[in-house]
With several copies, the nearest count.
Chain A
Amino acid sequence: MAELTYREAVARGIAQELERDERVVFLGEDVAKAGGVFKATVGLYEQFGPKRVRDTPISEQAILGAAMGAAMTGLRPIAEIMFSDFLAVCFDYIANEFPKSRYMSNGQLQCPLVVRTGNGAGSRFGAQHSQSVENWAMMIPGLKVVAPSSPVDVIGLLAAAVRDPDPVVFFEHKSLYGTKGEVPDGEIVDRLGTAKVVRAGSNATILALALMVPRALEAAEKLKAEHGIDAEVIDVRSLVPLDTQTILSSVAKTGRLFTVEENPRLCGWGAEIASIVADEAFYDLDGPVVRITTPHIPLPAADNLEDIVLPTPERIAERVRRAMA
């Protein structure tokens, strides 16, 4: 057991996989000699050398295209796209190439790769470096989509993603890089498609992802302490495959659903899950499904403004309380 930061967990997760399998290679901008702009890949270049850990030009299309070509011919690449906002400059690979090649070739082609990317707000970087864009990936058939909230999940889910035979987009939250957590020694491998009940409760179900998980937990404690509302908090972890069973069973138990999303409101993962629940668990619901999201606006840079737009524990608690009143 050791206490690691989320940042250190990224490096450890990649190292674990590089060590395990010669076919695993890692590429991205400033990821090798410099150890990454978020310092999340420090030491990998030194440990595994320039053949397996490679710096690239500022060419996101080349990065993802090269990862795909290598993946379809036998390697297991991990590609870094520094900020998830930059998925927009290489979106053809995300939307049209990775996820369709297996299907279009009737199963001949494979695309076992992982795109790691720094997602989310909180650093006062403004509208082009702070977005939460999990839905950009979730809406594309053929991808898998993961977003861990703790160091141990980073390692376990990254390992699962690297070993998965399908393309996985792996969202790391920039504002979690500095957070810490206990991590067992030895190899850690988790399973994609599994949500985690991080707080059991009976009155309401709160779904959250990444940075919103600790906030939802804090909200749940407040709700309990101040209003006697006992909320179950579920860390969704994996948007595709989606663990609808865990979600639907929780709603069957609590009768109320709240989703807490950092991404802007329209067409987020919350909308998808709310729709599933509103259809399949209609008769379990004791009240409306409520989505708590960042408003549908670009993100402001200023710290005081940025702090207001993202769902806070206070806002989450208040919204749940009001709905349950």
Chain B
Amino acid sequence: MNVRQKPGAAARVNDDIASETRLDLYRRQVEIRDFEKRAYDLFLQNLVKGTSHLSLGQEAIAAGFAVAMKEGDKSFCTYRGHAHTLARGVDMEAVLGELMQRDNGLMRGKGGSMHLTSVDHGVMGSYAIIGAHLPIACGAAWRAQYLGDDDVSVCFFGDGTTNIGAFHEALNFAAVWKLPVVFCCENNLYMEYTPIGEVTAVENPAADRASAYGLESIIVDGNDADAVYRAAEAAFAKARAGEGPSLIECKTYRHSGHSRADPGKYRPEGELEKWLERDPVKVYRARLSEFGFSEKEIAAIERESKAKVDAATEACKGAPPPPDEILATDVYADGGWAWRN
């Protein structure tokens, strides 16, 4: 069985989503959008340091999954992890503080933007070596299976990641052990600057490989938060029922460059524009109107989001850098770094 939802068709099959859920899906998308735009501005001001990988245009995936997750579920993210971290409810100031490498950062500046982690929110780390976290997510799912817990591990990664060895090992392993893990491939059409089709033997890098692991091929419109939410729900239900892993390919597009100041010049003309028409935030705003939400309700969400981002920005600008003494803490579990006596 294939579950394929053509762009546009989703609204019809998702008529029964609860109103609070809809508002929630919108709120998370808007907050991520506002946050990412601000992060970009701050990067241009040299206040966001190191690197930074935005999810502008991919917000529906983070929102759809996060809303479908319950407390205790575990997220495993990549360097492109701001969105998923925020979507799980992690404090915006802490995330921005980490990007700005301040002492109020989520990891006090020790990890940096590529490694956002908030164990309290089930965000079990962001991983910057392509593919590494797919097996790790299997391990967290194994723990749940072993203890009889019903939490699910969710692992987000990009299209380019489907070509690395760890992807293959993890998928087979999860399938053989029937682990409660959901693999979400955010296919944004590019592996950094290279179109995914130029380096991949199949058209749908994740979905066309599902059968290699005995899994069904699932393609979802990644710019439609409802569609993502529904697909995630179904996969979670399957996982919690002990029926093993799922692999979901979300078709999407990133509006900005791969990282930092990448101007994205490798894109064919008109491609971005075409996708901007299907901007997930815009799509979802229209959806809300269509479903009878008032302009006032919608605007309130947007206003609150902007206020949150502004407040976080101010707090971070005022925050000090991390103190020198945390440099060598938490290398080992005793809190220190001593490798000798």
Tell me if chains A and B make direct contact, with any CB pair below 8 A: yes
What 0/1 pattern do residues 112 to 129 of B give for CB contact below 8 A with A? Answer: 111101110000110111
Restricting to A83-135, which residues have a CB under 8 Å from any CB of B? 85-86, 88-89, 92-93, 96-97, 101-110, 112, 123-129
CB pair A124–B140 under 8 Å, yes or no, is: no
What 0/1 pattern do residues 54 to 81 of A give for CB contact below 8 A with B? Answer: 1111111111111111111111010000
Q: How far is the CA of A25 from the CA of B335 in the complex (A)?
A: 26
CB pair B50–A125 under 8 Å, yes or no, is: yes
Stretch at the interface among A209-217, A218-226, A300-308, A312-320: A300-308
What 0/1 pattern do residues 276 to 306 of A give for CB contact below 8 A with B? Answer: 1000000000000000000111101111110
Q: Does B198 sit within 8 A of A, measured CB to CB? A: yes
Partner of B139, one of A60, A68, A301: A68
Partner of B140, one of A72, A104, A245, A304: A72
A108 proximity list for chain B (CB < 8 A): 107, 117-119
CB pair B138–A58 under 8 Å, yes or no, is: no
Q: Which interface residue of B111, B117, B193, B331 has the most chain A CB atoms within 10 A?
A: B111
Q: Which interface residue of A56, A101, A126, A297 has the most chain B CB atoms within 10 A?
A: A126
Partner of A104, one of B107, B124, B341: B107
CB pair B140–A73 under 8 Å, yes or no, is: yes
What 0/1 pattern do residues 139 to 167 of A give for CB contact below 8 A with B? Answer: 00110100000000000000000001110
CB pair A128–B110 under 8 Å, yes or no, is: no
CB pair A75–B333 under 8 Å, yes or no, is: no
CB pair A124–B119 under 8 Å, yes or no, is: no
Restricting to A233-277, which residues have a CB under 8 Å from any CB of B? 240-245, 266, 276
Q: Does B173 sit within 8 A of A, measured CB to CB? A: yes
Q: Which interface residue of A60, A266, A305 has the most chain B CB atoms within 10 A?
A: A305
Q: How far is the CA of A33 from the CA of B191 in the complex (A)?
A: 13
Q: How far is the CA of A298 from the CA of B50 in the complex (A)?
A: 16
Q: Does A193 sit within 8 A of B, measured CB to CB? A: yes
B332 proximity list for chain A (CB < 8 A): 102, 142, 144, 165-166
Q: How far is the CA of A144 from the CA of B333 in the complex (A)?
A: 11
Beyond A65-B138, A69-B137, whether A123 also contacts B199 by CB under 8 A is no
B139 proximity list for chain A (CB < 8 A): 65-73, 77
Q: How far is the CA of A165 from the CA of B335 in the complex (A)?
A: 11
Q: Does A51 sit within 8 A of B, measured CB to CB? A: yes
Beyond A105-B125, A128-B129, A305-B327, whether A75 also contacts B341 by CB under 8 A is no
CB pair B110–A103 under 8 Å, yes or no, is: yes
What 0/1 pattern do residues 132 to 154 of B give for CB contact below 8 A with A? Answer: 11111111111110110000010
A165 proximity list for chain B (CB < 8 A): 332-333
Q: Does A34 sit within 8 A of B, measured CB to CB? A: yes
Number of interface residues of A (CB under 8 A): 83
Q: How far is the CA of A271 from the CA of B140 in the complex (A)?
A: 38
Q: How far is the CA of A293 from the CA of B133 in the complex (A)?
A: 30
A124 proximity list for chain B (CB < 8 A): 49-51, 101, 112
Q: Does A30 sit within 8 A of B, measured CB to CB? A: yes
Number of interface residues of B (CB under 8 A): 81
Beyond A59-B172, A126-B50, A128-B115, whether A300 also contacts B109 by CB under 8 A is yes
Q: How far is the CA of A244 from the CA of B341 in the complex (A)?
A: 6
Partner of A141, one of B107, B161, B331: B331
A306 → chain B, closest Cβ, in Å?
9
Q: Does B165 sit within 8 A of A, measured CB to CB? A: yes
CB pair B198–A55 under 8 Å, yes or no, is: yes
CB pair B146–A308 under 8 Å, yes or no, is: no
B5 → chain A, closest Cβ, in Å?
27
Q: How far is the CA of A166 from the CA of B336 in the complex (A)?
A: 12
Q: Does A29 sit within 8 A of B, measured CB to CB? A: yes
Beyond A69-B135, A300-B327, whether A106 also contacts B107 by CB under 8 A is yes
Q: Does B266 sit within 8 A of A, measured CB to CB? A: yes
B327 proximity list for chain A (CB < 8 A): 297, 300, 305, 308-309
Q: Does A37 sit within 8 A of B, measured CB to CB? A: yes
CB pair A123–B74 under 8 Å, yes or no, is: no
A225 → chain B, closest Cβ, in Å?
27
A152 → chain B, closest Cβ, in Å?
22
CB pair A65–B170 under 8 Å, yes or no, is: yes
Q: How far is the CA of A295 from the CA of B153 in the complex (A)?
A: 35
B110 proximity list for chain A (CB < 8 A): 103-106, 300-302, 305
Q: Does B340 sit within 8 A of A, measured CB to CB? A: yes
CB pair A29–B194 under 8 Å, yes or no, is: yes
Chain A: residues with CB nearer than 8 A to chain B?
25, 29-30, 33-34, 37, 51, 54-75, 77, 85-86, 88-89, 92-93, 96-97, 101-110, 112, 123-129, 141-142, 144, 164-166, 193, 240-245, 266, 276, 295-298, 300-305, 308-309
10 nearest interchain CB pairs? A69-B139, A65-B135, A301-B112, A302-B109, A124-B50, A165-B333, A126-B112, A34-B193, A57-B163, A57-B199
Q: A69-B153, A193-B341 are in contact. List 20 more A-B contacts (CB 8 A).
A: A29-B191, A56-B173, A61-B131, A69-B124, A69-B137, A70-B140, A72-B125, A73-B140, A89-B131, A89-B166, A103-B110, A124-B50, A126-B50, A128-B115, A243-B340, A244-B340, A297-B328, A300-B110, A301-B114, A305-B326
Could you jot down 13 A-B contacts, CB within 8 Å?
A: A58-B163, A62-B173, A72-B139, A74-B147, A97-B127, A105-B107, A108-B118, A127-B115, A128-B114, A296-B339, A301-B115, A302-B105, A304-B101
